[in-house]
Amino acid sequence: MKRTKIKALLTSTAFGEEVVVKGWVRTKRENKEIAFIALNDGSIITNIQIVVDVANFNETILKQITTGAAISVTGKLIASGGKGQSVEIQATEIEVYGLADPEKYPLQPKEHSLEFLREIAHLRPRTNTFSAILRIRNTMAFGIHKFFNERGFVYLHTPILTASDCEGAGEMFRVTTLDPIKPPLTDVGTVNYKEDFFGRQANLTVSGQLEGELGAMALSEIYTFGPTFRAENSNTARHLAEFWMVEPEIAFADLEDNMNLAEDFLKYLIHEALENCQEDLAFLDQRFTKEESKKKQEDRSEWGLIEKLKIVLENNFERLTYTEAVKILVDSKPNKKGQFKYPISWGTDLQSEHERYLVEKHFKKPVILTNYPREIKSFYMKLDEDGKTVRAMDVLFPGIGEIIGGSQREEDLDKLVMRMKEVGLKEEDLWWYLDTRKFGTCPHSGFGLGFERLILFITGMGNIRDVIPFPRTPQNCEF
């Protein structure tokens, strides 16, 4: 007989019919006459209850049914008398596929700390919290493709292996097939990358943007969605060494078009989550409230999780320049009382504490900051008329800080070359990128959304290591 997923059974009214469910045992309670098994197959956060008439079952099989075991149950679907569930299954036959020795199985039916669960990341998808996060992650990934597809964007696959080290070489992971103990050397004693696989130094990509621009200059509107890598040794709750990035690039578009796209995009995804992930969000909302209540009053979120999602959905994002934001921050109470860890003045990059003050305390809604000083932004951002600032935009979210970074690109060849010189980039290394400015250049814009930052926001989790199945961070590449 064909197996039915628990998600479908929980809303079924085919009472009396025989069904087959397969999944992993969450808990078993029993007395002399009757046993109750809570079974979960990952299709939904809710378990289905299996009712077992002990007298009709083989004692050995019943003993094998412990937390974590994989089983198949054949039985009759019946309306449930129990509180909080609509249906249950009266078992007629149970097959045990895989045992889970209760002495050794690390996931017990009690609350485990997130730190402990990171050590058993291979098993944590079997918990309520992580299965909810992974289902939401899936819905968001699908939503991203849906959003762009509905708008005629082309999904462009940009390379993961690159030879351009244009965005801060220190943060890149080198890719090589050279012998690590005895690499070939040049006459002056440095490693001879001419003998390496690509005949030159290669790295894992930190962003698909430059290639994304090449695509936009032919297809008008593209997006990339793939893994990116940064060897930043920062060890924060918002940085991973391997993360997923979504990068749209749009031709014939200025910064305002770019901001509109970013705002529409984020709202669309939040709406998708609220529509399609109700059970998981309800669970995470409760979890969020519980976690917040453990924090000090001044560190607590102003809003509940679902409330926060709705606030973002229902409000226009506040748009202001970096210069205006710095003024607000300089005049702010925490600055005057010396409560910011990092000092603030025009020209310095904003720290997460500053971003969160603007979003959570001052405006109480998402903020888009624009026109940053050129010195703290990338070479490809379009210079403003005053020559001091560039047409950059950062989207700042409650609880997160920067969730999107983007800009209008410099389409003027001479200005772009001048900016490259300033930051020490060689024209010949990026000849193909500069060609787009030589042949049919046009105004264009784009941004990058850190996929895991979005998932952090939607799920209300506090650490980015908990919203990707197998996190990679400094000193951590297990699983």
d(CA 100, CA 229): 36
Beta carbon nearer to ligand ATP, 75 or 405: 405
Read off the DSSP letter of residue 465.
G
213 binds ligand ATP (CB under 6 A): no
248 binds ligand ATP (CB under 6 A): no
Chosen residue from 215, 450, 460, 471 binding ligand ATP by CB under 6 A? 450
243 binds ligand ATP (CB under 6 A): yes
Beta carbon nearer to ligand ATP, 240 or 325: 240
Beta carbon nearer to ligand ATP, 100 or 464: 464
Burial of 445 (0-12, 13-18, 19+ CB in 10 A): buried
Q: By CB under 6 A, how many residues form the interface with ligand ATP?
A: 14
Query: Least distance (Å) from ligand ATP to the CB of residue 98?
Result: 35
240 binds ligand ATP (CB under 6 A): yes
Q: Nearest residue by C-beta to ligand ATP?
A: 450
Beta carbon nearer to ligand ATP, 233 or 316: 233
Q: Which residues contact 61 (CB under 8 A, 6 or more apart)?
A: 94, 96
265 binds ligand ATP (CB under 6 A): no
Beta carbon nearer to ligand ATP, 243 or 322: 243
Strands 242-251 and 161-162 come out as unpaired
3-state secondary structure at position 420: helix
3-state secondary structure at position 384: coil
* DSSP codes joined into one string, 80-137: --STT-SEEEEEEEEEEEE---TTT-S--SS---HHHHHHTTTTGGGSHHHHHHHHHH
Beta carbon nearer to ligand ATP, 23 or 399: 399
Query: Least distance (Å) from ligand ATP to the CB of residue 436?
Result: 20
Query: Least distance (Å) from ligand ATP to the CB of residue 242?
Result: 8
Query: Least distance (Å) from ligand ATP to the CB of residue 207?
Result: 6
Q: Are 94 and 72 in contact (CB under 8 A)?
A: yes
Query: Least distance (Å) from ligand ATP to the CB of residue 44?
Result: 29
Encoded one letter per residue, x for contact with ligand ATP by CB under 6 A and - for no contact, window 384-423 reads ------------------xxxx------------------
308 binds ligand ATP (CB under 6 A): no
Q: Give the residue among 112, 116, 138 at the shortest CA–CA distance from 458.
A: 138
Choose the stretch contacting ligand ATP; rule: CB under 6 A; options: 51-59, 68-76, 239-247, 410-418.
Answer: 239-247
257 binds ligand ATP (CB under 6 A): no
Q: Which residues contact 317 (CB under 8 A, 6 or more apart)?
A: 259, 263, 365, 366, 367, 368, 395
Choose the stretch contacting ligand ATP; rule: CB under 6 A; options: 76-84, 214-222, 427-435, 444-452.
Answer: 444-452
d(CA 117, CA 470): 11
204 binds ligand ATP (CB under 6 A): no
Q: Are 219 and 156 in contact (CB under 8 A)?
A: yes
23 binds ligand ATP (CB under 6 A): no
Beta carbon nearer to ligand ATP, 239 or 391: 239
CB-based contacts of 339-348 (< 8 A; 24+ apart in sequence): 346/373, 347/373, 347/375, 347/376, 348/376
452 binds ligand ATP (CB under 6 A): yes
Chosen residue from 26, 135, 437, 453 binding ligand ATP by CB under 6 A? 453
Residue ranges in 96-250 assigned as alpha helix (H): 114-119, 128-150, 209-219
Encoded one letter per residue, x for contact with ligand ATP by CB under 6 A and - for no contact, window 143-172 reads ------------------------------
Cα dist. 469→50, 135, 160, 246 in Å?
A: 29, 11, 20, 18
d(CA 466, CA 153): 30
Query: Least distance (Å) from ligand ATP to the CB of residue 238?
Result: 6
Q: Which residue's structure tokens are 């979210």?
A: 397
239 binds ligand ATP (CB under 6 A): yes
* Contact footprint for ligand ATP (CB under 6 A): 230, 232, 239-240, 243, 245, 402-405, 448, 450, 452-453
